[in-house]
Amino acid sequence: MHLIRRFLILILLATLPMALAAQDRRLSERLDPATAAAVQQAVDSAVAVGLPTEPLVQKALEGSTLGASGDRIVAAVAALHGQLGRAREALGDDADEAELSAGAGALRAGLPAVALRRLRSLRSDRPLVVPIAVLTDLVSEGVPTEQATRSVLDLARAGRPDDEFVALRRQVQSRRGAGDPAGRPPLRPAPDPPVDR
Amino acid sequence: MSAAARLAALACCLAAAAPAAEGQVSGALDLGAGTYRPDRAIPGGIASIAPSLRIRRGLFEVAAVGNYSDAPAGRWNFQGGGTGTLRTPRLGPLQGEVFGQVDWTSHYRVEGTTTISGGARASVSPSERIRLWLGRSQGSAATLGGRRPLQRSEVGTSAWVGGVHLNLSLLRTSFDLMSGPNLGVTPDSGSPSRPQIVNGDSGRVERRLALTDAVVSGQWRFASVMFDAMVGRRFSNATPELTIWGVSAVRSLTPTVALVAAAGRAASDPVTSVPGSRYYVLGLRLILDGSASAVPLLAAPPPASAGEDTPFRVGPPVPAGREVMVRAPGARTVELAGDFTDWRPIPLLPWGDGSWRVTLRIAPGVHRLAVRTDQGEWHAPPGTRPIASEFGGEVAEIVVE
């Protein structure tokens, strides 16, 4: 009996570090215990449903650095959890962490999930991080969602590289800096080959 | 004038000039200790004090440096100098400058030398990352109650290669010989007032000594440490060839204090009779002005696609990471936090030109970040589009390619 008890204690001691390691030390070091526990719950939930956890941790750490209260941090992490889930529905199970984070940001900026689905279908074999980031940026700059989406989808449909998406954003920013109203359709990089719609 | 009095006079000049100048002022005071092994003299430990000051106002620049070192048995040495430079406006890639320079040395029980010279330099910059220059100066050195003319000619080039600022230069110094036992110079029987030396290889009689220093040097930053390394060869018509080298590292501890370590083999200066030496020194650098850089005056690598006025930049990848630059003139501290730092505030180092920099590992992708100055509110870096954070402040999202 003593032998079995010792064996169980050894097993417990051996697995304890693994259990402790499952808790992100960054949370316990930077957040108060209650907030850290609530954020850890959201992280555990993300693991359970196969969502990336690092964006949730980073969101909590951002709140800590910006001096937010525990309640606001927990609310922001929960909201991001939901946005990541919706982004995965739109982008598919193959979307990686960076794409899901960018997608969550797009949804937070007010873009419809259908825009992400269209982008995925047009660019299924290439990373979507930059196109989504540019689309989010354009909308955040004040370009109407429909026009911004159309411009980015046109580039994706034409199979343009990431550089051209970034160039599109720069063009819009430079034109806005020159006094163009935000509602003006964004410029398209030239030459733009004809595409099937 | 004694060395202590000269040092005090130089310090007074520096202190008086700094507040009076409305231009960009940078200054430092190096306090060091180490070992010093001069040629033809007794080696030993030394303590040194080296103030330096540079004032820029438009096209005019004044720089002054001093170095007082104290060795055992009361032996001391002092070297000081000042330079005034007036540059022309840029004409495309061309720029010219005229300069005047005064240097003096003073030593324990040995007469020092005062050197006055003036000259001109022309440079061409075919791109923002490359510069070539050509210069010529003339002057005279006074010591032991006599004067002798000297000339200096220089040609050089500098370029940014990766994250390294490379310099190649050739400096030729020529001056009339002065008789004396240390130089092995014999009076010319034909003209007793002009000494001469016989070249051992060619048998030619030389009345002027000419030295050419060919030097390759590089400066680069790794993390928060600035490295400086040089190696060169001295050629002369009358003395053996000599290899010279030097390395130094400067690690900023705070915006106004840095740790300095240096070692090297310096060549002698026959004009001032300062001997060559080997040295190993460790010390502290105190920045006299908060806007000055704790590292040697090293121009930032010009960005490949952005002008000098770029308010915020994440540079291309280098072995140590990517250099992040934030322009914040007048700030006392600048910090950066983002998802690539786990949102831990990282202090940036002042660069002396109003920009603050740090090298961090940042993977390509979309990143969220914020900066703050002087422990104030977090906000988006200048020049980026602010995004309202859920937490009340402002941040930015950038695409790192």
pLDDT digits (tens, 9 = 90+) for B348-393: 988 777 888 888 888 887 889 999 998 889 999 988 888 888 898 8
Closest CA to A88 of A131, A120, A56: A120
Confidence band for A86, pLDDT divided at 50, 70 and 90? very high
Chain A neighbors of B365, CB-CB under 8 A: 98, 129
**Position B14, amino acid:** L
Q: How far is CA B157 from CA B59, B94, B95, B106, B134, in A?
A: 21, 14, 14, 33, 9
Which residue in chain B is spatially nearest to A70 when comparing CA positions?
B391
CA distance B374 to B357: 15
Q: Which of A64, A79, A102 sits opposite B366 (nearest CB)?
A: A102
Decide which of B130 and B10 is more confident.
Answer: B130
Per the prediction, chain B carries an average pLDDT of 77
Bridge partners for B32 per DSSP: B48, B283
CA distance B91 to B89: 6
Q: Which of B342, B385, B391 sits opposite A63 (nearest CB)?
A: B391
Confidence band for B36, pLDDT divided at 50, 70 and 90? confident
Instruction: Give the A:B interface size as CB pairs under 8 Å.
Output: 70
Chain B neighbors of A26, CB-CB under 8 A: 342
Per the prediction, chain A carries an average pLDDT of 80
pLDDT digit string, tens, across residues B296-328: 323 333 333 334 467 898 888 876 778 899 998
B118-149 per-residue burial string, b: 16 or more CB within 10 A, e: under 16:
ebebebebeeeebbbbebebebebebeeeeee
Q: Does B385 touch chain A (CB under 8 A)?
A: yes
Chain B neighbors of A106, CB-CB under 8 A: none
Residues of B numbered 339-368 whose beta carbons fall under 8 angstroms of chain A's beta carbons: which are they? 339, 342-345, 365-366, 368
Contact A65 B365 (CB under 8 A): no
Taken in order A69, A73, A74, A78, the sign of the CA dihedral is positive
Contact A76 B339 (CB under 8 A): no
Instruction: Give residue for tokens 């290439």.
Output: A126
Contact A62 B343 (CB under 8 A): yes
Decide which of A121 and A16 is more confident.
Answer: A121
Decide which of A59 and A161 is more confident.
Answer: A59
CA distance A50 to B223: 37
Instruction: Give residue for tokens 């009358």.
Output: B238
State the best of A27, A59, A62 to mutate against chain B, taking most chain B CBs within 10 Å.
A62
Instruction: Specify the pLDDT at position A45.
Output: 94
Q: How far is CA B324 from CA A164, B64, B303, in A?
A: 24, 31, 11
CA distance A11 to A7: 6
User: Å from B378 to nearest chain A CA?
Assistant: 7
Instruction: Give residue for tokens 């704790």.
Output: B294
Q: Taking 60 as the threshold, does the pLDDT of residue A47 lie above it? A: yes
A89-122 per-residue burial string, b: 16 or more CB within 10 A, e: under 16:
ebbeeebeebbbbbbbbbbbeebeeebbebbbeb
Contact B257, B284 (CB under 8 A): yes
The structure tokens listed for B5 are 């009095």
CA dihedral A88, A89, A95, A97 (to 10 degrees): 0
User: Å from A11 to nearest chain B CA?
Assistant: 34
Q: Which of B337, B343, B365 sits opposite A98 (nearest CB)?
A: B365
B346-375 per-residue burial string, b: 16 or more CB within 10 A, e: under 16:
bebbbbbbbbbbbbbebeebbbbbbbbbee
pLDDT digit string, tens, across residues B264-293: 998 887 777 777 888 888 988 886 643 333
B224-240 per-residue burial string, b: 16 or more CB within 10 A, e: under 16:
bbbbbbbbbebebbbbe
B317 Cβ partners below 8 Å, 6+ apart?
Answer: none
Q: What percentage of chain B carries pLDDT values higher than 90? A: 21
Contact A66 B392 (CB under 8 A): yes
User: Å from B364 to nearest chain A CA?
Assistant: 10
Confidence band for A172, pLDDT divided at 50, 70 and 90? confident
User: At what angle are helices A162-177 and A145-157 packed, to 10 degrees?
Assistant: 150
Instruction: Give residue for tokens 């988006």.
Output: B380
Q: Taking 70 as the threshold, does the pLDDT of residue B40 lie above it? A: no
Mean pLDDT across A139-165: 87
Least confident of B212-216, B253-257, B293-297: B293-297
Bridge partners for B27 per DSSP: B53
pLDDT digit string, tens, across residues B78-107: 888 999 999 887 777 888 899 999 998 888
The structure tokens listed for B157 are 């080039």
Q: How far is CA B253 from CA A14, A73, B162, B261, B358, in A?
A: 42, 34, 26, 13, 13
For chain A, the first-to-last Cα distance in angstroms comes to 76
CA distance B41 to B195: 25
Contact A65 B343 (CB under 8 A): yes
Q: Does A26 touch chain B (CB under 8 A)?
A: yes
Chain A neighbors of B390, CB-CB under 8 A: 63, 68, 72, 75-76, 79
Contact A55, A97 (CB under 8 A): yes
Residues of A numbered 74-133 whose beta carbons fall under 8 angstroms of chain B's beta carbons: which are they? 75-76, 79, 98, 101-102, 105, 129-130, 133
Instruction: Give residue for tokens 């993300």.
Output: A46
Contact B345 A65 (CB under 8 A): yes
Least confident of A39-53, B21-35, B231-245: B21-35
Contact A58 B339 (CB under 8 A): yes
Which residue in chain B is spatially nearest to A128 when comparing CA positions?
B365
Q: Does A61 touch chain B (CB under 8 A)?
A: yes
Q: Does A140 touch chain B (CB under 8 A)?
A: yes
